[in-house]
């Protein structure tokens, strides 16, 4: 089977990828962007040029840190193993795209910038990844949230939007199930066990209704860091994200939403329900309100945003008023 990736993609997979087990750790995302920056300021420009360089060239000509150059030269020896691993994945119906390919979801790069994954594994039709909305919430779902989520999913389907989901137990999985039952199109972004989950979603994938995506090795087990990153990627893919229920300082939904207030990955709408203390606090912090009545109305999702969004003038933030994210950026 022919691997259809350009040389820039092969370079980032070789130096940063997780497919090949090696004694030398892959470059981190920050290290890769440092290499990319040095390439762009030199006559080499393209990552594909790295294949023809030795350690001295990397250090003396590009000005790359000696330890990073050592890691890169070490990983060059794993190129054959990488090609073998890619071919094996393609035989299983799992493909890879990178930030250097035309089919990489542009919304990820636009919204997340340098936090966007350098590469993505996927199964299914990657062109489904556009005009996307996500619904997130608790794993233990109450009846009223089922009803709200079903009505919201119906509106998403009626507007011919793509649903983005993590597939996690609870609201996320329920929304995905309802959307697929309606005949809608979906993206399921997972952070572990992708190889097993492609079997779970084999039917909608085969019918062109779902694309399964991951930023980590398809055989990877659960990892908290990967799960939190996955939540960010779901945000980055979404034009809108609906938060059905949250509790203060509890769980990934709360943590990701707090981050989003600073980074503005997506527009987040929070259900106006005072039975959830997290919802109350998020609305106080400036999240866009959405009501049960809004979802039952004839308003489109964009009209709901327009009706409820409060645009405030930016104020000068003093150092003692900064969030931890703003402080770290400084």
Same domain, 40 and 164: no
Q: What is the mean pLDDT of the chain?
A: 92
Question: Structurally, how many domains does the chain consist of?
Answer: 2
Specify the long-range contacts of residues 178-186, CB closer than 8 Å, at least 24 apart: 178/149, 178/150, 178/153, 178/154, 179/153, 180/204, 180/209, 180/210, 182/153, 182/154, 182/157, 183/157, 183/209, 184/153, 184/156, 184/157, 184/209, 185/128, 185/209, 185/210, 186/128, 186/162, 186/210, 186/211
Residue-wise pLDDT tens digits, 94-123: 999 999 999 999 999 999 999 999 999 999
DSSP element (H, E) containing 277: helix 277-284
Within a domain: residue 159? yes
Structural domain contains residue 109: no
In the prediction, which pLDDT does 311 show? 75
Predicted local confidence at residue 61, as pLDDT: 87
Q: Is the domain of 286 the same as that of 208?
A: yes
Residues 222-247 have a mean pLDDT of 96
Residue 320 confidence class, pLDDT cut points 50, 70, 90: low
- Which domain-ending residue is among 91, 114, 143? 91
Pairing outcome for strands 95-98 and 119-123: antiparallel
**Residue 130 belongs to a domain:** yes
Using one digit for the tens of pLDDT, what is the confidence trace for 7-57?
999 999 999 999 998 888 999 999 999 999 999 888 778 999 999 899 999
- Residue 235 clears pLDDT 70, i.e. is over it: yes
Domain end, chosen from 35, 69, 91, is at 91
Q: Report phi then psi at 294, rounded to 5.
A: -55, -45
User: Do 139 and 84 belong to one domain?
Assistant: no
Residue 103 domain flag: no
Q: Please tell me whether the overall predicted TM-score, pTM, comes out greater than 0.75 for this model.
A: yes
| Dihedral over Cα of 160, 165, 170, 173: its sign | positive
Same domain, 61 and 192: no
Q: Based on the domain organization, do 148 and 286 belong to the same domain?
A: yes
| Integer Rg of the chain from CA | 21
Instruction: Tell me whether residue 2 is in a domain.
Output: no
What confidence tier does 330 reach under pLDDT thresholds 50, 70, 90? very low
Residue 318 has pLDDT above 60, yes or no: no
Domain termination residue (choose one: 42, 72, 91): 91
Average pLDDT score over residue span 238-262: 93
Domain range enclosing 246: 123-319
Between helices 29-40 and 66-76, what is the axis angle to 10°? 100
Residues 243 and 140 placed together within one structural domain of the fold: yes
């Amino acid at each position: 089977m022919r691997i259809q990736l350009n040389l820039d993609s092969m370079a980032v997979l070789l130096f940063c990828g997780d497919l090949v087990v090696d004694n030398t750790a892959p470059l981190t995302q920050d290290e890769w962007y440092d290499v990319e920056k040095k390439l762009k300021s030199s006559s080499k420009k393209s990552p594909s040029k790295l294949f023809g360089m030795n350690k001295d060239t990397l250090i003396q000509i590009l000005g790359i840190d000696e330890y990073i150059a050592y890691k890169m030269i070490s990983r060059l020896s794993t190129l054959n193993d990488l090609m073998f691993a890619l071919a094996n994945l393609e035989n299983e119906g799992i493909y890879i795209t990178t930030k250097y390919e035309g089919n990489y979801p542009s919304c990820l790069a636009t919204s997340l910038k340098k936090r966007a994954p350098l590469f993505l594994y996927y199964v299914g039709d990657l062109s489904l990844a556009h005009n996307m909305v996500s619904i997130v919430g608790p794993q233990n779902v109450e009846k009223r949230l089922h009803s709200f989520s079903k009505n919201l999913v119906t509106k998403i389907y009626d507007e011919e939007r793509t649903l983005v989901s993590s597939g996690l137990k609870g609201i996320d999985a329920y929304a995905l199930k309802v959307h697929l039952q309606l005949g809608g199109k979906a993206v399921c972004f997972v952070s572990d066990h992708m190889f097993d989950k492609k079997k779970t979603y084999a039917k909608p994938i085969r019918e062109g209704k779902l694309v399964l995506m991951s930023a980590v090795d398809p055989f990877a087990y659960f990892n908290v860091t990967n799960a939190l990153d996955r939540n960010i990627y779901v945000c980055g893919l979404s034009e809108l994200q609906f938060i059905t229920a949250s509790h203060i300082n509890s769980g990934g939904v709360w943590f990701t939403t707090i981050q989003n207030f600073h980074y503005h990955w997506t527009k987040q709408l929070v259900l106006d329900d005072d039975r959830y203390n997290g919802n109350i606090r998020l609305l106080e912090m400036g999240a866009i309100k959405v009501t049960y009545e809004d979802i039952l109305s004839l308003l489109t999702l964009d009209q709901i945003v327009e009706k409820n969004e409060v645009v405030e003038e930016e104020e000068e933030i003093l150092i003692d008023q900064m969030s931890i994210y703003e402080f770290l950026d400084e």
